[in-house]
Amino acid sequence: MTFGPDDDARCTARSKQTWERCSAWAIKSTNPPRCRHHAGRKSAVIKAEIRAERHLQLAYDRAHAHHNLDPSSDENTLDDLLRIKNDALRWHATCKALLGELREVRYKSRSSGEQLRAEVALWERSLDRAARICADLVRLGIEDRIARVTQAQTEQMAAMLSQLIPSILARGGLDYGTDTVRLWVIDAMAELPGVSDTA
């Protein structure tokens, strides 16, 4: 069967026997596009889930609008993985907050009986996803790797400074070996943010 220009509006399910594509119209906003029969649920339930997902996404966007995430600015993959973990945990916290606003976890409709709210399903998914990401990071030892990389960078910087500072002071006619000059260097370094005592 061939479809016209609104091919995207048709159900993408296929027959198990003939492998022909379903010709029914898809329910709006289903992904992948599915008709009422192949979605396996009532269209009202699907639409409610879609509305809840959009509501949660808007709430998440509003809550994290102040974060300026520019993926091209940082090419450190380990930091990106930690950022993904933090995003998953923030999304879980957002879902949890919205779940706390519900008066009831279930609702009843005439056509489909008692139903679990979509917010509950989203919270469960966010919990599973955050737990899986955290478990993967622990299993891969990402945080330990980041700590080792940071430690190596700190040691390289300390070694460089321990050679550079006496050289610069010698050019200025000061002897790094004297206690007064050494204290000046230690005080100056202590005032720098993120620099430990390397003298």
Residue 185 in any domain: the answer is yes
Please determine, for residue 163, whether its predicted confidence score (pLDDT) is greater than 50.
yes
Please determine, for residue 169, whether its predicted confidence score (pLDDT) is greater than 60.
yes
Residue 80 in any domain: the answer is yes
Residue 161 in any domain: the answer is yes
Residue 136 in any domain: the answer is yes
Question: What is d(CA 96, CA 124) in angstroms, rounded to the nearest whole number?
Answer: 9
Please determine, for residue 1, whether its predicted confidence score (pLDDT) is greater than 50.
no
Residue 151 in any domain: the answer is no
Question: What is d(CA 109, CA 41) in angstroms, rounded to the nearest whole number?
Answer: 13
Same domain as 49, residue 31: no
Same domain as 47, residue 34: no
- Please return the burial class of 103, using the count of CB atoms within 10 Å of its CB with bins 0-12, 13-18 and 19+: exposed
- Residue-wise pLDDT tens digits, 119-159: 888 888 989 999 998 888 888 887 788 788 888 888 888 88
Same domain as 26, residue 89: no
Global pTM value: 0.41
- Residue-wise pLDDT tens digits, 84-120: 888 999 988 888 888 887 777 766 666 766 677 778 8
- Please return the burial class of 143, using the count of CB atoms within 10 Å of its CB with bins 0-12, 13-18 and 19+: middle
Residue 196 in any domain: the answer is no
Question: What is d(CA 182, CA 185) in angstroms, rounded to the nearest whole number?
Answer: 5
Question: What is d(CA 30, CA 37) in angstroms, rounded to the nearest whole number?
Answer: 13
- Please return the burial class of 155, using the count of CB atoms within 10 Å of its CB with bins 0-12, 13-18 and 19+: exposed
- With tokens 């919270």, the residue in question is 123
Same domain as 11, residue 49: no
Same domain as 87, residue 168: no
Confidence (pLDDT) at 184: 80
Count CB neighbours of 111 within 10 A: 8
Grouping H, G, I as helix, E, B as strand and the rest as coil, residue 198 is coil
| Alpha helices for 102-141 (secondary structure H) | 118-140
Same domain as 90, residue 133: yes
Residue 150 in any domain: the answer is no
Same domain as 53, residue 7: no
- Residue-wise pLDDT tens digits, 19-75: 888 888 887 767 778 787 777 666 666 677 777 778 778 877 776 665 554 444 445
Same domain as 59, residue 30: no
Same domain as 58, residue 33: no
Range(s) of the domain holding residue 1 = 1-40
- Count of domains observed in the chain: 3
Same domain as 183, residue 126: no
Same domain as 48, residue 34: no
Same domain as 30, residue 47: no
Confidence (pLDDT) at 72: 45
Residue 149 in any domain: the answer is no
